[in-house]
Amino acid sequence: MKGVFDVIVAVISEKGGTGKTTIAIHLAGWRTAAGSDVMLVDSDRQGTATYWVEVRNDLKLPTPSTVQSFQRSLRRSVLDLTRHYGELIVDVGAGDGVGIESILRVADLAIVPLQPNELDIWTVGLLDELAGDARAVNEKLDVKAVLNRAPTHHANTDAQAAQTALEQCQYIEATNLTIRERSSIRRSVLAGKLVNEWQPRDPKGEQELGAVYELTYGVTVSGEMFGSVAV
């Protein structure tokens, strides 16, 4: 774990709907609030991260720089950007095998969000293979999985089944982090905000996404960042 020394952080998924963009924009938003020189690279053709930045700019909220780059040009673009920005967060398109393979070869850390269901679990094997191939040329690469959009009903056992499947991976590290399906998270993103800027406040959503931030950077989200005022 390289913590605050991570320069290139990628959020990747083989399947859509895992909430990877939500994680990417929260990492970028909180790093911006912490005063870091951050570039958010939107490599998903849906452009959700770019839309979020545009809405956030209209709200006059602290906003990371952003750029779009796709597939084969992604690796070159990312390496060029490291000359100008202290930190990069890359939101790679779901199922973009070329983009995923490209970014894993230069990333310091890749976060893999998975929904705790069979369809998402089936994709883990392919991602584990890609991570292994990338590690052969990028020894510094760490790949960590988090469960996202998990049911809020704690009697549901899908999350435990997903954790068991992740433990079979050779290159993807299973974590004990679970982000539940919460309307506060979904609505805040659509409104161009971070979960801690949404009203009414949702301490559980803030804590769950904050844990991913701590996993990524080795530091907690500060009280000032969690104290942002909704617009």
Query: pLDDT (tens digit, 9 = 90+) per residue, 116-135?
Result: 888 888 889 999 999 999 99
* pTM of the shown model: 0.91
User: Where along the chain do its domains lie?
Assistant: 3-226
Q: Which fold has domain 3-226?
A: Rossmann fold (3.40.50)
- Per-residue confidence (pLDDT) for residue 71, from 0 to 100: 77
Kind of pairing between the strands at 142-150 and 8-11:
unpaired
Measured CA to CA, the distance from residue 203 to residue 173 in angstroms comes to 27
Measured CA to CA, the distance from residue 25 to residue 42 in angstroms comes to 10
Q: What is the CA radius of gyration of the chain?
A: 16
Measured CA to CA, the distance from residue 74 to residue 104 in angstroms comes to 11
Task: State yes or no: pLDDT of 144 exceeds 60.
Answer: yes
- Write the pLDDT tens digit of every residue in 150-189: 988 766 677 777 888 888 999 999 998 999 999 999 999 9
Compute CA 174 distance to the chain's CA centroid, rounded to the nearest angstrom.
15
